[in-house]
Chain A
Amino acid sequence: MSNTRTESNSILPVTVVCVIILVAWYIAAIFMNTVVAQPKIEALGGGFANTVNVSWSLDRPVIPAPHQVVVEVWNTVFTIAPWKVKSLVYHVWVTLSSTLLGFFLGTLLGVGLAVAIVHFKLLSKSLMPWIIASQTIPILAIAPMVIVVLGSVGLTGLVPKSVISMYLCFFPVAIGMVKGLTSPDPMQLDLMRTYNASVSQVLWKLRFPAAMPFLFASLKVAVAIALTGAIVGELPTGAQSGIGSRMLAGSYYGQTIQIWSALVAASVVAAMLVYGVGGIERIVNRHMGARA
């Protein structure tokens, strides 16, 4: 009941924000594109109507108008078979597969590190600085090295991109899980002690369940970062496919509409991934007796 109410209440503000963004975008498109469109506008005799028409329909605009992006997305998604190189769906799938593998590996690594840190005091002192340092290095600097190093041992294609994705997304998981695994209160831990429970029993029956809210908060951040990592991983290889390669190719040839449609695809995929994690979270919560 309360859920439907919040949803209908939020329609108006969401619409207003979208309209404001669209209006600002169209206005910006006029001002930014007139620079390149000036000769064409003048050839048509100038005036406001021509300015608007031309700057919203250039082949290679500085910034494409929203409807140009929509048309490009529509054409590359629905009018081309998904297995063709020109299809956006094909590129999304390429990026999505390395994202999901990277996310999976990153989650494993993050949870593993957190479990180790929580159980061995020494590790939290010795490992934590490295974990934090790993995130201070720009991924653009690391990515080419990862690809070269892995390439030299024969790993190309999906794996290096996933490794870069993993490198970015293990961090929030590790930090969140350290917090989550140490979240049980002293009384809940004392209870286990009175049962003479083993370390692994405490981990599985107390620490892991208690860490679930922290895990899912981290996973939502991690899955979005994993996508970023996969896209970044496609750039230095000059990859022939993937959302990143579309952006790169678009920038080589001045195809701004293609870049923007790749951006739209990336943000739609990111949103779906975050919603997906949220959906799993709701299912897990229901099984763990969360208040409805």
Chain B
Amino acid sequence: MTAKAVIETQDLSLTFTTADGPVYALQGINLTVNDGDFVSLIGPSGCGKTTLLRVIADLERASNGSIQVNGMSTERARMARAYGYVFQAPALYPWRTVEKNVGLPLEIMGIADAASRVKRNLEMVNLAGFEKKFPWQLSGGMQQRVSIARALAVEPKLLLMDEPFGALDEIVRDKLNQQLLELWAATKKTVVFVTHSIPEAVFLSSKIVVMSPRPGRIIDVIETNLPASRTLDIRETPEFLKIAHRVREGLKAGHSYED
């Protein structure tokens, strides 16, 4: 059985023109994300992992090469509302309550059963009972969970997540990682997940894409093959450490820790 490709790029590159000359944010990116994959993009700051995610989401345009999402151009895919996007920060609208924030995309897309979807997705991220709260009344971790519920509410097949837990403390992060994994196992979504944490990438992913800066490029792609249902304890097993080691070696080979 060959899995269907959700995202496919060929020789993708993106160059930003700045006052100090061109910045090669992405160069020669060849990447295939199959249906049901959990793909992590890992690398140090400036390696283009967020830029790559933004190109997939049609928030940036590639300078060269080709990219297809669901067999369409990224623009068509965005217009078809093919994905849900979770940003680094919750990006909640402070004047909307939790339920109104989660309902925002449904309002915009004119989806009918908004109320039940909002309720279901807030339950999924363990935020039932917080519907009427405003964002400032929630902790940072809860706010980020609201933003995940908001992305899930449109029930996208593809979930793009840009360091969603980057600003959270270790304990909250572990918990959300566990929840995200359960969600992925339950819904069979395709996830592209940007992170700079090696344990997070290894724990969550079915496929790890190691990236390196200047120019932003892929230096290794690792299939993890860890058991589908795993707990945080798996991080102490030899298999886990072996993969983590390979990721670390890849990052080193990309000279990404030199500066």
Instruction: List residues of A whose CB falls within 8 A of some B CB.
Output: 185, 187-188, 190-197, 201, 205-206, 209-210, 212, 288-289, 291
Contact = CB atoms under 8 A, between A and B. Distances in A.
A190 B97 CA distance: 20
A188 B91 contact: yes
Contacts of A194: 57, 59, 78, 83-85
Contact of B134 (A210, A212, A289): A289
Contact of B107 (A185, A187, A205, A210): A205
Contacts of B242: none
Contacts of B94: 288-289
Contacts of B91: 185, 187-188, 190-191
Interface string B80-101: 0101110111010111110000
B97 A193 contact: no
Q: Which 9 A-B pairs have the closest CB atoms?
A: A289-B134, A288-B95, A187-B91, A194-B85, A209-B95, A195-B108, A197-B108, A195-B105, A196-B79
A191 B109 CA distance: 13
Contacts of B78: 193-194, 196
B93 A206 contact: yes
B201 interface: no
Given A187-B87, A194-B84, A196-B81, 15 more contacts: A187-B88, A187-B89, A188-B91, A190-B91, A194-B59, A194-B83, A195-B104, A195-B108, A201-B108, A205-B93, A206-B93, A289-B94, A289-B95, A289-B96, A289-B136
A186 to B, nearest CB: 10
Nearest to B154: A195
Contacts of B58: 193
A195 B93 CA distance: 15
B237 to A, nearest CB: 37
Q: How large is the interface on B (under 10, 10 to 19, 20 to 34, 35 or more residues)?
A: 20 to 34
Contact of A291 (B83, B84, B104, B136): B136
B87 A190 contact: yes
A204 B78 CA distance: 21
Contacts of B135: 289
A195 B57 CA distance: 10
Contacts of B97: 289
Nearest to A194: B85
Nearest to B132: A289
5 contacts: A191-B85, A195-B105, A195-B154, A210-B93, A289-B136
B79 A190 contact: no
A99 B63 CA distance: 56
Contacts of B59: 190, 193-194
A205 B88 CA distance: 21
A196 B84 CA distance: 11
A72 to B, nearest CB: 47
Nearest to B90: A187
A166 B107 CA distance: 36
Nearest to A206: B93
Contact of A195 (B95, B109, B134, B136): B109
